[in-house]
Each structure stands twice: as C-alpha cells, then as structure tokens.
Chain A
Amino acid sequence: MDTKPISEIEEEIVEEFSFFGEWNDKYEYIIELGKKLKDFPEDKHTDANKVRGCQSNVWLAADSENGAIIFKADSDSVIVKGLIALLIRVLSGKTPDEILDAKLEFIDKIGLKQHLANTRANGLAAMIKQIKMYAMAYKAKQELETK
C-alpha cells in the first residue's frame, strides 16, 4: 500500500501516462494493470457488493484498518479492472477524510474522463460514488465511537 498523500500518487499516475502518445497504448497499459489485479476474495462476489453498470459490473468491498479504509474490487471487464487498480492505488489505505477530499483529478488529466468516466456504460462513475459513500459511512462511525 502506498503511504504517500493522495495528490502525490495522482501526480505519479499522470506522469506514467504522459509516456503514452496514442490511446491504444494507454489502454494496453490499463489492460495490463487489470490483469494484475487478482486479490478480490471469491466470497465477496455478492449482490450486495455489486455496483451495476449498463454493460459491465463492478464488485467493491471495504474494510477498516487503524482508521484507514482498505478497498478491494473486481470487474468482468479487464479495462474497468485496470481503472479500478488505479483508483485503489490512489484511495485504498487512506482515511475517510482524505478520501472525501480527493478530487481525483488524474482521471481528467490523463484524458480518461472524456473517454470513459462520464458514461454510464462501465460503472466507473458509480464506483467512485460508492467509494465516497463508504468513506462517509466510516467517518460517521468513527465520530460515534470517539464520542
């Protein structure tokens, strides 16, 4: 897990993508990231964890560890899995406040927003929303516990 601040990890990703000129190269990199994402537990493939897209589905599970949230996710689309890998790299292991404050500008900066994130087809936008919901829920829980 990356202990750097979110903005720093985002910068790293933007830097990595700047090496690719063509969109097919960017996607081939995303596909590679997707293929490597393998740690989603089989028993978490439940309807409750499912974030439905119009074409592809995402499964998202969250756990807390020392005040941080650990995300694990999977998808039936390898490109979406690659995008998930990027999101997890940025957001997993961070505190609820850090996650809620994250602007996720890297999506825009590497040109993905225009390409993908705005369509309802792939469930990516829905997944980001779900991650933020988890962060809100964990924040509320932590506040209750400290009272």
Chain B
Amino acid sequence: MEAALTKQMFDVETLRKEFPILKRVVNGKPLVYLDNAATSQKPLSVINAISDYYCNYNSNVHRGVYSISLEASDAYDCTRDKISEFINAGSASEIIFTRGATDAVNLVAYSYGLENVAEGDEIIVSEMEHHANIVPWQVLCKKKNAVLKVIPVNDKGELIIDEYKKLLNNKTKIVAVVHISNALGTINPVKEITDLAHQRGAKVLIDGAQAVHHMPVDVQDIGADFYTFSGHKMYGPMGIGVLYGKLELLEAMPPYQTGGDMIISVSFKGTTYNEVPVKFEAGTPNVEGVIGLNKAIDFIKSVGFDVINSHEQELINYATEKISEIDEIEIIGTAKNKASVLSFVVRGQHPMDIGIMLDTYGVALRTGKHCTEPLMDRFSIPGTVRASFAVYNTPEEIDIFIDALKRTIKALK
C-alpha cells in the first residue's frame, strides 16, 4: 500500500523537466540517456547554483575578510555538514573534499597506506573492483613489498565471502571493496565484509561511487574506516568527490598534498599543518563543485530514497524482462542484490558495434570493459554493453532501447 502510494505521487515526467539535457535530440532522435553509472545528468538546481556562485559571489574561500568571500566560505563549509548528515558520519571533520572517488582512494593509499603498510603485509581487493580501487593498492604494494590478494567472484557476479574469509589473516592491513559494482550492479554485503576485516585488525575502505545516489548509506552502521564517492554520479558536478574517514585515523595520517590552506604556519625552519579536514585540502578548493554537490544532495532528498529505489528497481526489472526475450543476449551479473545496472553481451557481436549502432537511434550507453578489466577476464569476455538507469529514466525509454537493440542485432547478423 505504501509503495503504491509513493508510486502514485511520483511523476517522472515532471521530474524530467528539471533536467534540461533530457530534451536533447541526437542523430535526429530524442536522447535516451542510459549511461548513468558513468555520470548522471544534472538538475537545474545544481546548474543554477554553480551559475549563481560565479555571477554573484565568486571569491576564494577561507582567506578573504570581505562579504562575498565570507559568503563563499559559508556555502563551502556548510556543505560539509550536509554531507556528514547525508551519510551519517560522526562529524563534519570526517568529510574531506577531493577531486573525485579516484582521488579519495589515492589519498588513503598514499597517506594511510605508506605509513601503515610494511613489507610482507597484505591488502585485499576484489575481482570486481574498478581500476581506481586496484591500481593505487598495486602501486602501494610494489613500493612496500606488500602482497595484493583478490576476493574471487562467482558466476552470478557476487563476491565469494567464504574465499574472502580464507584470505583474511593477521597480516591483512587493508581491505578495499566496492559497495555497488559499476560493471555488474552487484550490491556487496559491505557491513559483513567490514566486520570480518575488523576481527583481524585490518582497516576497510568502501568505494561507494555507485551507491550513495541509489540507497541510503550509513557509514557508522557499515563501520567502514574510509568511504569514498564522487559528485558527478549523484546528480552533482564533475571534479568533486568525498572521502569519509574515521576521525582518529584522519588525525594520525600525514598530509597527502601540501600547499596553501592546509597549513597553520610556514617558515623555512618548518611548517605546522592545519587540523582535519583542512589538512587534506591543499590549495584553492573546487568551490563551485562543492556548491553544486550541496544542491545535488538536496535534489536526492527531495525525491527521496524510497521513490528512487522503487522506481529504479522497476526499471531494471522491466529492462531485464524485455531483454531476456532476445535470444542472442546473455546478461552478465545476475546477483540476488542488484542495483539498476544491466550489463550484457550479444553472442557473436562486439560490444562496441552494438554501442555505435544504438547511438544512431539516440540511445547513449556504455560499451567496453568499464575500467574493470580483471572482471571482464574473469568472465572471458572483451567487454559488455551496459545500460544503467537513473531516477529520471522511463519504461518508454527502455522500449526505445530494446527496439533499437533488436534492429541493431538484425543489422549486424
């Protein structure tokens, strides 16, 4: 009953009006944007907030004593509180602004990792990680002569937790795992993964780039030591991301980059660093990004996770049902807990050819390895075609996509 009520109250056509780009025509066809796992589109509230900042109070933050600098500083700093509340962090000091999720992982690998990982130590990642949650750890392992271990994935695209348990031991220092797989949509049991790691004294980083806009995330409930995400996948601007870290860890960690804003005093004899979180934000920050991210969170809250979740689940179920009617299709990633990502291969056809042809019908989706080459190797495929849905997508768009896909397969045969 409650779900039915929510559905009635949600009018996707009204919501779509908030996204100017959805009116675009591509190759003579209306744009059907299904590459949301790569980046989401931005509502007018985000676009206008950035424009408003540049038109009315553009200035550097944390330095000026004049009105517009104070306004910009306020807008910047209050977003930290909003994010802290959004993911239920312990305090706003645990929120660090980064360039994106990749930057956030690198920060932890270089700052925490270099300090706390020694020769012979072990770091665990999973087979479904994005390259951004593999390569920084690989580099760290090489520098420190540490060992990288990998949690395998089963045929459905789920982590094999029993294998993970076997990998854990007293040498495990860091476990870095994705919350929702960008390539398959699998939702991982991050709380269980974190608990198991903590029992062995290891620290845990969860890559939440695909999670924070699909479901409520409570970092204290998960218990993760670090949680990373980017703004542009959650209806916010490009070039802004977040690192959440437990305060006691952040306080003990050395700075990642150095320069302005992150210092208290500098002389040629030595430098005193600023407090967390500013200690990790060297240089002029991405003020427009932070202001835009603030409005993106407002947007998500105004729609509500109950609506987002039920609408996106409806879309993925409908798309899965429709695509299963096509003989040549094999869905990659059939996990029990799955977000709105539909990854598939067309037997006998290269994913890129499918993507190029679908574009001629106005359908924008992603083809290739999705920056998860080890995962593609696991399934022995050169890549997949991936449709990923956001709250503004509609069943009608899925019909257009499926129809274009059928025509494409016919042309390629």
Judge whether B350 is part of the interface by a CB distance below 8 angstroms: yes
Q: Which residue of A lies closest to B383 (CB)?
A: A55
Judge whether B337 is part of the interface by a CB distance below 8 angstroms: no
In the assembled complex, the CB of B277 is this many whole angstroms from the nearest CB of chain A, namely: 36
One of A22, A27, A54, A76 near B356 (C-beta < 8 A): A27
Do B367 and A24 have beta carbons less than 8 Å apart?
A: no
* A residues in contact with B411, CB < 8 Å: 24, 27-28, 31
Query: CA–CA, A136 to B349, complex, Å?
Result: 35
Judge whether B75 is part of the interface by a CB distance below 8 angstroms: no
Query: CA–CA, A129 to B163, complex, Å?
Result: 46
CB-CB contacts of B346-368 with A at 8 A, as 1s and 0s? 00011111001101110000011
Query: CA–CA, A54 to B351, complex, Å?
Result: 12
Do B360 and A27 have beta carbons less than 8 Å apart?
A: yes
In the assembled complex, the CB of A76 is this many whole angstroms from the nearest CB of chain B, namely: 6
One of B27, B352, B382, B407 near A121 (C-beta < 8 A): B352
Query: CA–CA, A115 to B367, complex, Å?
Result: 15
Judge whether A116 is part of the interface by a CB distance below 8 angstroms: yes
Query: CA–CA, A5 to B303, complex, Å?
Result: 62
Do A76 and B357 have beta carbons less than 8 Å apart?
A: no
* B residues in contact with A78, CB < 8 Å: 349-350, 353, 412
- How many pairs of residues, A versus B, come closer than 8 Å at their CB atoms? 51
Query: CA–CA, A24 to B405, complex, Å?
Result: 12
Query: CA–CA, A79 to B350, complex, Å?
Result: 9
* B residues in contact with A24, CB < 8 Å: 357, 360-361, 407, 411
> Given A23-B27, A24-B411, A55-B367, are A77 and B350 also a contact pair (CB < 8 Å)?
yes
* B residues in contact with A121, CB < 8 Å: 352, 368
Q: Which residue of A lies closest to B349 (CB)?
A: A78
* A residues in contact with B349, CB < 8 Å: 78
In the assembled complex, the CB of A66 is this many whole angstroms from the nearest CB of chain B, namely: 36
In the assembled complex, the CB of B334 is this many whole angstroms from the nearest CB of chain A, namely: 24
Q: Which of B337-389 contact A (CB under 8 A)?
A: 349-353, 356-357, 359-361, 367-369, 382-383
- Interface size class for chain A? 10 to 19
CB-CB contacts of A108-130 with B at 8 A, as 1s and 0s? 00000001100001100000000
* B residues in contact with A23, CB < 8 Å: 27, 359-360
CB-CB contacts of B380-400 with A at 8 A, as 1s and 0s? 001100000000000000000
Judge whether B270 is part of the interface by a CB distance below 8 angstroms: no
* B residues in contact with A80, CB < 8 Å: 352
Query: CA–CA, A56 to B349, complex, Å?
Result: 12
* B residues in contact with A54, CB < 8 Å: 368
Query: CA–CA, A63 to B411, complex, Å?
Result: 33
Do A79 and B368 have beta carbons less than 8 Å apart?
A: no
Do B383 and A116 have beta carbons less than 8 Å apart?
A: no
* A residues in contact with B368, CB < 8 Å: 54-55, 121
Q: Which residue of A lies closest to B410 (CB)?
A: A28
One of B352, B369, B407 near A122 (C-beta < 8 A): B352
Q: Which residue of A lies closest to B356 (CB)?
A: A79
Q: Which residue of B lies closest to A78 (CB)?
A: B353
Which residues of A are at the interface with B, using a C-beta cutoff of 8 A? 22-24, 27-28, 31, 54-56, 76-80, 115-116, 121-122
The 4 closest A-B pairs by CB, nearest first: A24-B360, A23-B360, A77-B350, A55-B368
Enumerate 24 A-B pairs (CB-CB under 8 Å) in ascending A order. A22-B27, A22-B360, A23-B359, A23-B360, A24-B357, A24-B361, A24-B407, A27-B360, A27-B411, A28-B411, A31-B411, A55-B352, A55-B368, A55-B369, A55-B382, A55-B383, A56-B352, A76-B382, A77-B352, A78-B349, A79-B356, A80-B352, A115-B356, A121-B352
Contacts A24-B357, A76-B350, A79-B350 aside, 13 further interface pairs with beta carbons under 8 A come to A22-B27, A22-B28, A23-B359, A24-B361, A27-B357, A31-B353, A55-B382, A56-B352, A77-B352, A78-B350, A78-B412, A79-B352, A79-B353
